[in-house]
Amino acid sequence: MDVLSHYSSPVVEFPATQPLEKQHALVDNCTGTDPPPPSKDTATGTQEKLHVATQTERRVVSSKDVEYDERALAKWLRQICPMVERELMNPTLLMEDLTMSQCRLEEELQVYTYQKLAMGGADNSQGLAIWLCVHTNNAPVLVATTVAPHDDWCEHVDQQLKLFVPQRMSSGNLVMYTEAKTLPLKSCLRSLCTNPFNKTVFAGSTMDGELFIWLYEQARGSDSVDIKQLYSVSSAQGAAVALDWPREQLLLACFANGSVRQWDLSRQMALDWEYSLPATITSEPTAMLTLGLDDFVVGTNDGGVYRCWNTRRQTAATKQIKLLALRRHLFMVTTLIRTEMEGNQFVLSCDLSGQAFYHDMRLVDEDMTQLIVQIPLPFKNVIACSRDGNIIYCPANDGSLEYYRVSDGAHAHVKGGLRGKGSLIRSSDNGRWLIAGLYDDEFQIFYVEY
């Protein structure tokens, strides 16, 4: 090993590139502790290069140069101020508060899976079902059918409409839904609707454009039941996407081409009047409900919601329907429901994303809509609600059910035991029964206990 020794290397000098009077004092980095003074070498410094063609210039704009629409600003303030006040009065709950609300909801409103109904339909079918009048033990009669997949024209000539009647069980205060009647159909049904003024009467529209009026009958003093066809009529408009009853003897039908027709059933089924949505509404109707005589609400597949009404007493030939655009959804409107909140009439609309609007029918300016509910994900495409509008029910995957309390945002879940995703849910008029489906080939009935 070589022995280390002291050695002085020769000094190598690098001549300065700048004049001596512009040189800065050098600091020995080996021994010094003070930081060097700030310096900038002009020879190596980078300078930002501006391009005249693309350079943007910042300019402070004076308030005198700003132009704004005072009406639009006032309208926005009228819209946002109530929302801010509600948010301040009802701030977002903490996780602990949400958990407590959920527990209280499950205790105060208990929902149970009650019974499964097998339908025997084709693969990948969807379901239609409605509740009729109460039969026994506060349980209503149920009518249900399946809708096979369609590409264009319906060729399913062996469809069936099934009637399920609740029967008391020998033990306990329970009922069991049993199939009591099967009605053959020459085409799949597109829509079903119970007459709210007479719940033994209901209407249906088939895919081939037929409209039927049926009557549910029960023989006095016996358990014999039947479904009787009262009227039928063919429509060149195709299948009615939605049906509703303004009066006991009046049936309103809405078609995909924007036509709305009303039939009078007082003597026979005769066309009363017809209305077509204006050309400014280019999307197909997907939902419809009535608020009264000559007063109805339509939802479309691009998220539009429109109220149509006639304020004057006029003959059918001279009716002038007014149209008001309500608060618009972002996606297709799937559900329209009449409800009352604190004695006032509301229309609850829901789209494919699970966004629900409560439209106050007293207000002319829809920007004043008071309540907007975003149902938590995953998406809920159809809903039902309680009689007071405070509870929203949604069919979930595999026969399960989710429900939400609007007043405090509480959320509860009922576990199911089926396969598939439900595309329909209906609540009975008394709010005690729910039916959801179709799950594979079965409907799921739920019972609500307050």
The DSSP secondary-structure symbol of 188 reads -
Q: Can you tell me whether residue 105 is helix, strand or coil? A: helix
Q: Which are the contacts of 137, defined by CB distance < 8 A and separation ≥ 6? A: 166, 168, 173, 174, 175
Which ranges constitute the DSSP H helices of 109-194?
none
The structure's pTM equals: 0.76
Lowest mean pLDDT, pick from 81-85, 114-118, 249-253, 300-304:
81-85
Share of residues in the chain with pLDDT > 90 (%): 46
Q: Which of 307-321, 354-368, 420-434 ranks highest by mean pLDDT?
A: 420-434
pLDDT at position 400 is 92
Taking the C-alpha atoms of residue 274 and residue 294, their distance in angstroms, rounded to an integer, is 11
Position 53 scores a pLDDT of: 47
pLDDT on residue 85? 66
289 belongs to a structural domain? yes
Q: H/E/C letters for each residue in 359-428? A: EECCCCCHHHCCEEEECCCCCCCCCEECCCCCEEEEECECCCEEEEECCCCEEEEECCCCCCECCEEEEC
Is 39 contained in some domain?
no
Q: Read off the pLDDT of each residue in 250-279 and give the average, rounded to a whole number.
A: 94
Q: What does DSSP say about strands 259-264 and 250-255: parallel, antiparallel, or unpaired?
A: antiparallel
Pick the range with the lowest mean pLDDT from 13-27, 62-76, 332-346, 371-385: 13-27
The DSSP bridge partners found for residue 394 are 402
pLDDT for res 285: 96
Q: How many angstroms separate the Cα of 376 from the Cα of each of 162, 164, 361, 373, 381?
A: 34, 33, 26, 9, 12
**pLDDT band at 82; cut points 50, 70, 90:** confident
Res 62: pLDDT: 45
Q: For residue 1, is it within any domain?
A: no
Q: Which residue has the higher pLDDT, 198 or 35?
A: 198
| Domains: count for the chain | 1
User: Is 365 inside any structural domain?
Assistant: yes
Mean pLDDT on 216-221: 83
What is the C-alpha separation between 226 and 256, in angstroms, rounded?
Answer: 32
Is 5's pLDDT higher than 60?
Answer: no
Collapsing DSSP to helix, strand or coil, 72 comes out as: helix
Strand 401-405 relative to strand 295-300, pairing: unpaired
**Domain extent for 441:** 105-449
Query: Residue holding tokens 């995953």?
Result: 378
Residue 158 has what pLDDT? Answer: 81
**pLDDT value of position 76:** 73
Higher per-residue pLDDT: 220 or 62: 220
- Looking up residue 419, the CATH number of its domain turns out to be 2.130.10.10
The reported pLDDT for the residue numbered 298 is 97
Most confident of 31-40, 100-109, 302-311: 302-311
Which range among 39-48, 205-214, 250-259, 376-385 shows the weakest confidence by mean pLDDT?
39-48
> Is 12 inside any structural domain?
no
**Residue 42 pLDDT greater than 60, yes or no:** no
The answer to whether 137 touches 166, Cβ cutoff 8 Å, is yes
pLDDT at 213: 97
In a domain, 44, yes or no: no
Maximum alpha-carbon separation in the chain: 127
Residue 50 forms part of a structural domain: no
If you average pLDDT over every residue of the chain, what do you get?
81
Q: Is residue 168 part of a domain?
A: yes
